[in-house]
A and B are shown apart, each in its own frame.
Chain A
Amino acid sequence: MNEVVESLLHVAASMGIDPGNPPTPMEAYRQNFDTLESSASREPAWLRDLRSGAMMRAESQGFPSMKNEDWHFTNVAPIAERIFDLPRAGAPVSAEVLTRLAYGQDWHTVVFVNGRHDAGASSGTLPRGVMVESLAGAIENDAGLIERHFSKLISAESATFSDLNTAFAHDGAVIRISADIVVDKPIHLLFISDPAAEGAAVHVRNLIFAERHSGCTIIESYVDVGADLYFTNAVTEVYVAEGARLSHYKLQTESTSAFHVGTIQAHQARSSRYESFSFATGAKLSRTNVYTTLAGDGAEVVMNGLYMVDGAQHVDHQTRIEHVAPNCPSHELYKGILDGRSHGVFNGKVYVHPEAQKTDGKQSNNNLLLSDQARVDTKPQLEIFADDVKCTHGATVGRLDETALFYMRSRGIGMLEARRLLTYAFAADVLEKIELDGLKEALEAQVLERFTG
């Protein structure tokens, strides 16, 4: 408690405010916003208006409470009641660290440190027809494209976290895959928080355009390199055009003292395929939103995920699949492994609109509790307004199979190893769905490692 009061006083003092009357966290966001706005006056007017509107909405709406149905099982007070600084520039990242963070894989890597693009660390020559730019650069060089798409998928009334992101995110990645181009190597967006991000909120915004009949794999990683307590607030807007195929992996392995709120909002045109995988093991408190709209006939989405936490971690996923067009399959499998006193939340919504006939929807969420204190709240939701559809959903919460444990022990395998193997086995089928070799093995290794000893 003393620490919080102290940091409040510190921020208040640095802002020239009477310490007897410190700002509320939202007032601090406003002050930071005004500071940034005066220094970012080169931005086009439309963007400044958009940011200003978002800031005002955030102020009037405030942070979501647990009475809000979308946040019913997640208390965001640890984020809402804390004043976060603006991040300071990070240090260069060594090649050794980059190799480790890319799991030793030869991917095109785009590096951001504390929310700022690090061109020097980014690697890989991009093939023709692929454009990867920092958002800050794209706003200067390609303002038209950004104006047409920035914040168009995130609705104006969206939650406060997205509004704060719109208000504050000055950097991130803009990726554009031209029509008919199939990218051989994955593009890895690596968001690093280093010690200069300590106590700060890092807002990043990505825009991904997979144009007609293009194909690409994108990995979005959020990691810490020596940062402890910070807040990542990320938004990624994804446009998947007709016939395009996009695989999108999000890996959240932040510091276990950090906060992470991330939203991915996709929009899928006719016959497109979007495959999303969310891997979340980090952060003290995290919320990942993965949303897509199946807007064109025959568009397909695959949404999978694995969350694995322990200690006092809280991990929350909300997915939403809007079946707007007919003949769209959506398949979803999320698995959770919860140990210690951790708390997992899953809320998967599937809306089938009246026009979305022949929808083929399948959703499951399975959870494994490894301790008596671990807890999970799972809420699969299916709302169907069309009559000719095939939709199933289900959720399970269970413990390690005692019979299987005994079976393994009776073969000489010790208790710890038996638990580790069974836990790994629980995660195996969802990991098996990862089509990207190299990443699959890396995540499998992480799961195995987590439960060693």
Chain B
Amino acid sequence: MNDLLIYARAVHFAATMMAAGIVLFDVCVAEPAFRKSPSSLLAATLRRRFAWIAWISLALCVLSGGAWFVLTAASMSGQPLAQICAQDALWTVLSQTDFGNDWFVRLVAACALAGTFVPLLSANGAASPRLKAAAAILAAVLVGSLAFAGHAIGAEGAEGIIHPAADILHLVAAAAWVGSLVPLALLLAATRKDSTSLAVARTATLRFSTLGIVSVATLLVTGIVNTWYLAGSVDALTETDYGRLLVIKIALFFAMVGVAAVNRMRLTPKLVADADAIAAQRARSALCRNATIEAALGTAIIAIVAVLGTLPPGSHANHHAAEGLIPPDAAFQHIHGEDGMADVTIEPGHVGVASAAVHLLNDDLDTLVARQLTLTLTAPAPGSKAVTRSGIVDADGTWHVNGLALAAPGNWTVAVDALLPSGKHLKLTAPIEIDAK
């Protein structure tokens, strides 16, 4: 089900970015460019293409949003997917959780935005400035409110305000930039015919340039804020899955900025220069190609973001558990106690003979040294005898217990008793789920 969730998120983010981006592009770049040139056939053709993209993106946005909502509600309530509609879990999630409330607000925003599409993208471009402003605001709300469905929420204090604020700006800037690339490429491709349409291409490119610079600057600043809160340390960037994916996202971002820099500094001046029409056309064509390349990079970034939201962020407050990758067939439990914590991994986590690895941590997440450690496992059936074995420590400070016989599946109880150098015993007990073979 986790896979389905990632696909739903990926489609939803891409569709939202596209729908919001095309509205922002139309209002900030295309319409001003069309005004400068009397060529109404070009404008009408492009508006029609934009309308297609806008409607399809919004439809995908709503459908994938619905899928994301249902999958998340199933996960939150623990209900299997097949039964989710029969229970009132869907209504509880919708009305009583931040995620559900945010989803509903976004659905309303999407419907309102759809309402603006007909006048906004009508062939004769008769939309009033107020309608354009309303459409732009709704587009920003639709994409910005994604912040409330992710990792930016949940913290207390100053972080609880600054982090979502940064994330909202990050999302709107991303939609404005990445979402504009496809309509920009379309506009550049359509303006190859004559000098009047070249004028449209020039104005559009210059306006997009400004939009791009503001977006990149915003993405950089808000990206740093987000990374500060979510990764928490340089180690987390290299040692956690979340961190490693984030590094790739950042690398792709800089690749996009690189292409954008070439566009801004080499190609745009050539396009805008009056002297050489042929060079200008070639620059236009190159810009069109580069915009397509950037759009592809942007899509990869969106795919990564879809996965990132399903992983625990790397920072201390969010990631008490083991830094390493947990094998998919292992059973894992994190146990929090007064004098320390333990991460217990039982591999394989199903009926049979298994080995346990216990990692002791103190409150600062440093490895806790113990003189001795015993592990006690009690089977789920009432009245079962507890089995206690001693552990052997390895060079990393992780304790290992081998040859554990797990006879039945269910909710076992695992207890860790570690003798600390101070002479105190660290005793931690927790349930651990063992699967059937």
A and B part of one assembly: no
Chain B positions within 8 Å of A, measured between CB atoms, are: none
